[in-house]
């Protein structure tokens, strides 16, 4: 019987390796303790990337021979500052990558910060927004509120989708100023609401100033809207889903504070009970998340493909060669499986309701990335997917979390530092083997390409909201939703700020394979 290669796809992930430690079956023997902490941290970084990094063989300094000479290797580790500088020096660069290289791998000095990021936990006032350039080549920006999270400070103070502001703490937003104004460590800031006419680039103050306070460890709820629309006699489900998050154990005690997989199951149970025949999934602001949760969502939408491949994971050549060797040996019981499958229950044994749909409508934008794109691509080889909106971001790769564990059971983290890293380790394809969408997934026809405009923001879930209206019009034609959406205001260039980019993630659990077996 094949062992499951990825058993818990959202769990925190491990690196079975110890910086400067020699592990054996009988315990831990500490050898050659490092003289400098930066050597120890950089040793952890190098060993992790050498083993798991997707582009390992394309980075000369990650070659397996780099640590053959102990003295030269230690000099190499000491050549750059610990942590981020050393990590960044080892990332893959390629001319046709925007910004010259790997856009997605990152490292955190405090692994708890990384874990919270993956779980949708942050210091937040609950206001989500997009920054737009006021004109081509302009440095001046306006910010348009895309949605407000329930039970947040922004919600309590009346901020709503479509609100526009162009200053924070009285200072105008520009390409140079916005990061320090909005994303500083300050727990509060004020915004000045304005009316904005993009056709003539005119800002009109509304004389409304709102001071927003961040809540520490605020948990975003993935399901923003779940409702049923009766459109020309057709029962249409609408799910706005903003992050692929499953079970969240905030304090690491083994008890879940939030089970968002169950919330997703409950939402589909409600849609099933409402007898919907069509479904619109809104992923326009969803930057990705857990592959396991994505697999659950695909299975909830369908239901007729249990046991079929949903996605195939392609790791680096070193790992693929190891897996091939294991799977071709004489013992079938140790075979490893790189595929993700449609399922009818969770790993905890909870049954999944299913809609058994053969067509689904998915709303996208340039903010739709990673696991959002996986959902489109994975379903597209099984059912008809009608994509409406803008091209997606183009992230077809996934990551794992690597900690510096010092025990054979992967339970004790190195007490000398709290670094963890999230490197890209795999490319992911659908059941047909298609994985090449680094330029994004594009709606099939011109009439389905709709860009959001500041002037046409409408209530999410409203039948008149341009993207949803286009989906409803496709289901049962009434009026030209595309024409209505295009009739007001100029299309402004949006800015992909660092905060948004950091949320565009797709992550999986990694195999329980010892580094000693592979190196």
Question: Contact, 206 vs 193, CB < 8 A?
Answer: yes
Q: Does pLDDT of 360 surpass 70?
A: yes
Q: Does pLDDT of 224 surpass 80?
A: yes
Closest CA to 378 of 355, 366, 360, 393: 360
What mean pLDDT is reported for the chain? 84
Closest CA to 377 of 430, 326, 417, 338: 430
Q: Does pLDDT of 155 surpass 50?
A: yes
Average pLDDT of the residues in 404-410: 79
Which DSSP symbol is given to 351?
Answer: B
For residue 4, what pLDDT is reported? 36
Q: Which residue has the higher pLDDT, 369 or 519?
A: 369
- CATH homologous superfamily of 1-120+220-519 equals 2-enoyl-CoA Hydratase; Chain A, domain 1 (3.90.226.10)
Average pLDDT of the residues in 237-241: 98
Average pLDDT of the residues in 109-119: 74
99: left (phi over 0), alpha (psi -120 to 50) or beta: left
Which DSSP symbol is given to 21?
Answer: E
- Token pair, residue 95, equals 């001319």
For residue 251, what pLDDT is reported? 63
Q: Which residue has the higher pLDDT, 27 or 416?
A: 416
For residue 519, what pLDDT is reported? 42
Number of helices and strands in the chain (H, E): 14, 29
Tell me the C-alpha distance between 284 and 295, whole Å: 19
Q: Does pLDDT of 448 surpass 60?
A: yes
Q: Does pLDDT of 255 surpass 70?
A: yes
Q: Does pLDDT of 229 surpass 60?
A: yes
What backbone phi and psi angles, to 5 degrees, belong to 141?
Answer: -125, 155
Q: Does pLDDT of 36 surpass 60?
A: no
Q: Does pLDDT of 452 surpass 60?
A: yes
For residue 493, what pLDDT is reported? 79
Q: Does the domain spanning 121-217 belong to CATH 3.40.50.2300?
A: no
Q: Which residue has the higher pLDDT, 352 or 248?
A: 352
Taking only the tens place, the pLDDT of each residue in 471-518 is 999 999 975 444 444 445 566 777 765 555 555 455 455 455 444 444
Q: Which residue has the higher pLDDT, 164 or 218?
A: 164
Q: Record the pTM.
A: 0.82
Taking only the tens place, the pLDDT of each residue in 313-348 is 999 999 888 888 888 888 777 778 878 999 999 999
Tell me the C-alpha distance between 225 and 239, whole Å: 6
For residue 474, what pLDDT is reported? 96
Residue 326 CB neighbour total at 10 angstroms: 15
Q: Does pLDDT of 7 surpass 90?
A: no
Closest CA to 465 of 70, 125, 16, 162: 162
Q: Does pLDDT of 409 surpass 80?
A: no
3-state secondary structure 71-92: HHHHHHHCCCCCCHHHHHHCCC
For residue 250, what pLDDT is reported? 65
Q: Which residue has the higher pLDDT, 328 or 70?
A: 70
Q: Which of 7-21, 43-57, 138-152 has the lowest mean pLDDT?
A: 7-21
Contacts with 445 (C-beta within 8 Å, 6 or more apart), sequence order: none
Average pLDDT of the residues in 147-170: 96
Average pLDDT of the residues in 453-469: 93
- For strand 339-341 and strand 397-399, is the pairing parallel, antiparallel, or unpaired? unpaired
Taking only the tens place, the pLDDT of each residue in 172-192 is 999 999 999 998 889 999 999
Q: Does pLDDT of 459 surpass 80?
A: yes
Question: Contact, 9 vs 511, CB < 8 A?
Answer: no
Q: Which residue has the higher pLDDT, 403 or 113?
A: 403
Residue 249 CB neighbour total at 10 angstroms: 16
Closest CA to 67 of 54, 81, 53, 51: 51
Question: Contact, 105 vs 423, CB < 8 A?
Answer: yes
Q: Does pLDDT of 71 surpass 90?
A: yes
The winner for highest mean pLDDT among 3-7, 120-124, 452-456 is 452-456
Tell me the C-alpha distance between 313 and 427, whole Å: 6
For residue 509, what pLDDT is reported? 53
The winner for highest mean pLDDT among 57-61, 235-239, 477-481 is 235-239
Q: Where are the domains of the chain?
A: 1-120+220-519, 121-217
Adjacent-strand bridge partners of 234: 231
Q: Which of 35-39, 44-48, 55-59 has the lowest mean pLDDT?
A: 35-39
Radius of gyration of the chain from its Cα atoms, rounded to whole angstroms: 24
């Amino acid at each position: 019987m094949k062992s499951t290669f990825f058993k818990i796809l959202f769990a925190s992930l491990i690196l079975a390796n110890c910086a400067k430690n020699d592990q054996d079956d009988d315990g831990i023997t500490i050898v050659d303790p490092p003289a400098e902490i930066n050597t120890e941290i950089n040793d952890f970084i190098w060993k992790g990337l050498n083993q798991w990094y997707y582009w390992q063989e394309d980075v000369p300094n990650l070659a397996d021979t780099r640590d053959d000479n102990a003295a030269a290797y230690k000099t190499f580790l000491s050549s750059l500052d610990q942590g981020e500088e050393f990590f960044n020096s080892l990332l893959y660069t390629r001319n046709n990558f925007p910004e010259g290289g790997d856009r997605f791998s990152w490292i955190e000095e405090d692994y708890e910060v990384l874990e919270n990021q993956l779980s949708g936990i942050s210091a937040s006032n609950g206001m989500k927004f997009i920054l737009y350039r006021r004109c081509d080549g302009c440095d001046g920006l306006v910010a348009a509120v895309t949605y407000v999270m329930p039970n947040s400070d922004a919600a309590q103070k009346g901020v709503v989708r479509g609100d526009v502001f162009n200053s924070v703490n009285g200072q105008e937003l520009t390409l140079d100023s916005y990061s320090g104004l909005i994303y500083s460590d300050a727990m509060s800031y004020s915004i000045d609401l304005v009316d904005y006419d993009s056709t003539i680039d005119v800002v009109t103050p509304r004389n409304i100033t709102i001071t927003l306070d961040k809540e520490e460890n605020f948990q975003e709820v993935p399901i923003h809207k779940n409702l049923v629309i009766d459109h020309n006699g057709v029962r249409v489900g609408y799910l706005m889903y903003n992050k692929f998050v499953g079970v969240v154990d905030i304090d690491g005690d083994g008890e879940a504070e939030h089970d968002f997989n169950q919330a997703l199951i409950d939402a589909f149970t409600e849609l099933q009970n409402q007898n919907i025949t069509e479904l619109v999934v809104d992923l326009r602001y969803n930057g990705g998340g857990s592959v396991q949760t994505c697999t659950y969502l695909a299975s909830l939408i369908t239901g007729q493909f249990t046991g079929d491949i949903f996605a195939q994971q392609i790791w680096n050549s070193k790992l693929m060669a190891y897996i091939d060797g294991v799977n071709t040996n004489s013992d079938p019981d140790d075979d490893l499986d790189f595929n993700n499958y449609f399922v009818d229950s969770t790993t905890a044994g909870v049954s999944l309701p299913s809609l058994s749909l053969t067509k689904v409508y998915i709303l996208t934008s340039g903010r739709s990335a990673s696991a959002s794109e996986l959902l489109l691509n994975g379903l597209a080889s099984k059912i008809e997917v009608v994509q409406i909106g803008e091209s997606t971001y183009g992230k077809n790769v996934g990551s794992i979390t690597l900690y510096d564990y010092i025990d054979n059971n992967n339970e004790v983290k190195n007490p000398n530092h709290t670094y963890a890293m999230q490197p890209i380790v795999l490319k992911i394809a659908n059941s047909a083997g298609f994985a090449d969408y680094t330029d994004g997934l594009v709606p099939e026809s011109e009439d389905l390409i709709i860009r959001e405009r500041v002037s046409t923001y409408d209530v999410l879930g409203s039948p008149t909201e341009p993207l949803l209206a286009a989906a409803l019009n496709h289901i049962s034609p009434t009026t030209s939703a595309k024409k209505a959406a295009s009739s007001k205001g100029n299309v402004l260039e949006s800015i992909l700020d660092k905060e948004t980019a950091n949320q565009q993630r797709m992550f999986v659990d990694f195999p329980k394979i010892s580094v000693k077996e592979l190196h």
